[in-house]
Each structure stands twice: as C-alpha cells, then as structure tokens.
Amino acid sequence: MVARRILAPVLRVNPGLVSYRTRLRGSGARLLFTNCVNLLPGTLAADLQRDRLRLHLLDAGVDPERELRRLEQAVARVFHETLPTR
C-alpha cells in the first residue's frame, strides 16, 4: 500500500508529525512498542521521550490512534501490564 502511494503517477502523501502519549510504564515495553510502530504502514517512530512518542506519518490526515492503542494493548499483554484508562 505504501509503495503504491509513492510510485503512483500522482503523489498521494501528506506527511506530518504527531505526538502520542503511551500508557506503558516499563522501559522495555515502551521500547518494544516504539519498534513495533515502525511496522505499521506509513508510520515511523521518530522520537521517544518518557511517555511521549513522536511519529512521522506518510498521511497526516489519517488518525493513527486506534491502531496505536491496539498495538499498545498487545505489548502490555506481553509485559503483563495493565493499562490505565484515558
């Protein structure tokens, strides 16, 4: 999907940076989460400072919140963490 967007005759990208506050407490859990974010199409983890993750998105018009929360929940299960509700 990402390659198709980049190689299309009309470039359909709207790059941008967003911030995401993770609810993971452990540093290992945060590191795994940050690395896994890079596997989401069109998403790159640019910076992690404490509980704030800066993301570069191929399309800043798309809200990554739902996918990030699902991924965060999966990482929490691996580390036996219970995430607080927002």
In the chain the domains, ranked by start, together with CATH numbers, are 14-78 (3.30.70)
- Percent of the chain clearing pLDDT 70 (strictly above): 93
pLDDT at 9: 74
> For 29-48, what is each residue's pLDDT tens digit?
999 999 999 999 999 999 99
Q: Specify the DSSP element, H or E, that contains 40.
A: none
User: Strand order of the sheet with strand 16-21?
Assistant: 16-21, 52-57, 43-49
Mean pLDDT, rounded, of the chain:
91
Cα torsion through 65, 7, 13, 35, rounded to 10: 30
State which H helix or E strand residue 57 sits in: strand 52-57
Tell me the whole-structure pTM to 2 decimals: 0.84
